[in-house]
């Protein structure tokens, strides 16, 4: 992947942000600035944002809020210095009238003074912790994006938003699955412990080989699929709600913050 070529170059979070800002980086941020929290971005007009914040508070596993900007602000001190929300993500998605509209590498031209930005925790943080603890992560081994699935798990309705959870899946042998529960429990702000393991049909997933987002990965007969709440959930919810205008990051193309991963670990 193109991102892998850059991972040695962009060592600090600011390196990554400046590369995205200049247009030099338009690919995935996976593996970059290791040890620092990367976040999902969800950006929408203040009129919907107040309700969306209540929705996130009601559904903290898929939508763990690390920071909320002031309306119109393109900076966010909680996330980092020298940070431009409208330019520092390598790839953005624009939604109009509840549908995906276009992909942009810079959203300065569509920025509005009423836009509120939500920074939501991302599983990249706990994947780094899994690897550091010797727990292999299949989609990383196979050089793919993590497989993500729509489920039948209902979210709590709040602030005018509702829908079902989107989950990411990582397969493990049993001992590693148990270890993965322990490790990810330490990261409640980046989706925390799994929401399901075992039979996918119990949460409405018909075929592990056909993810709704990301790529399929191989699952061995002695492995158990383990499912985590996923930061793509709000993108699905925004579309389902028919929101008039919203911006998100492109999955895998995250905002890299100055927050050390150790700071979002419980233990």
Residues found near its own copies in the complex (CB under 8 A): 174-175, 177-178, 181-182, 185, 193-199, 202, 222, 224, 267
| Min separation Cβ 188 and its own copies, Å | 11
In which order are the strands placed within the sheet that holds 164-172?
A: 148-154, 164-172, 224-229, 196-197
| Min separation Cβ 135 and its own copies, Å | 13
* Best CA proximity match to 52, nearest among 188, 192, 235: 235
* Best CA proximity match to 138, nearest among 199, 217, 211: 217
For its own copies, the closer CB: 89 or 167: 167
Q: Could you give the 3-state DSSP secondary structure of residue 105? A: coil
| Min separation Cβ 224 and its own copies, Å | 5
For residue 18, what is the enclosing H or E element? helix 13-22
CA distances from 237 to 27, 42, 160 (A): 25, 11, 10
| Min separation Cβ 177 and its own copies, Å | 7
Tokens of 7: 């991972």
For its own copies, the closer CB: 6 or 191: 191
For its own copies, the closer CB: 115 or 195: 195
Q: What is the 3-state secondary structure (H, E, C) of 115-127?
A: EEEEEEECCHHHH
For its own copies, the closer CB: 224 or 238: 224
| Min separation Cβ 183 and its own copies, Å | 10
For its own copies, the closer CB: 30 or 226: 226
Residue 38's DSSP bridge partners are 256
* Gap between the Cα atoms of 151 and 153, Å rounded: 5
For its own copies, the closer CB: 18 or 178: 178
| Min separation Cβ 205 and its own copies, Å | 12
For residue 183, what is the enclosing H or E element? helix 174-185
Tokens of 96: 């109009």
């Amino acid at each position: 992947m193109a991102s892998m070529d850059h991972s040695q170059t962009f060592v600090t979070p600011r390196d990554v942000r400046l590369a995205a800002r200049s247009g030099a980086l338009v690919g995935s941020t996976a593996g970059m600035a290791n040890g620092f929290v990367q976040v999902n971005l969800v950006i929408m007009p203040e009129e919907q944002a107040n309700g969306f914040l209540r929705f996130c508070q009601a559904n903290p596993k898929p939508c763990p809020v690390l920071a909320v900007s002031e309306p119109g602000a393109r900076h966010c001190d909680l996330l980092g210095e020298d940070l431009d929300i409208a330019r520092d993500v390598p790839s953005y998605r624009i939604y109009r009238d509840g549908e995906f509209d276009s992909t942009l590498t810079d959203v300065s031209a569509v920025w509005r003074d009423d836009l509120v930005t939500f920074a939501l925790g991302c599983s990249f943080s706990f994947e780094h912790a899994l690897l550091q603890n010797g727990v292999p992560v299949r989609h990383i081994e196979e050089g793919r994006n993590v497989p993500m699935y729509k489920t039948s798990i209902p979210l709590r309705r709040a602030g005018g938003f509702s829908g079902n959870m989107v989950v990411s899946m990582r397969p493990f042998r049993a001992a590693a699955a148990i270890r993965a529960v322990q490790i990810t429990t330490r990261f409640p702000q980046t989706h925390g412990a799994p929401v399901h393991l075992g039979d996918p049909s119990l949460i409405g997933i018909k075929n592990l080989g056909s993810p709704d987002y990301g790529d399929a990965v191989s699952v061995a007969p002695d492995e158990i699929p383990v499912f985590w709440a996923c930061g793509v959930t709000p993108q699905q919810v925004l579309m389902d709600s028919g929101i008039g205008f919203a911006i998100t990051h492109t999955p895998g193309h995250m905002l890299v913050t100055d927050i050390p991963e150790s700071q979002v670990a419980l233990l």
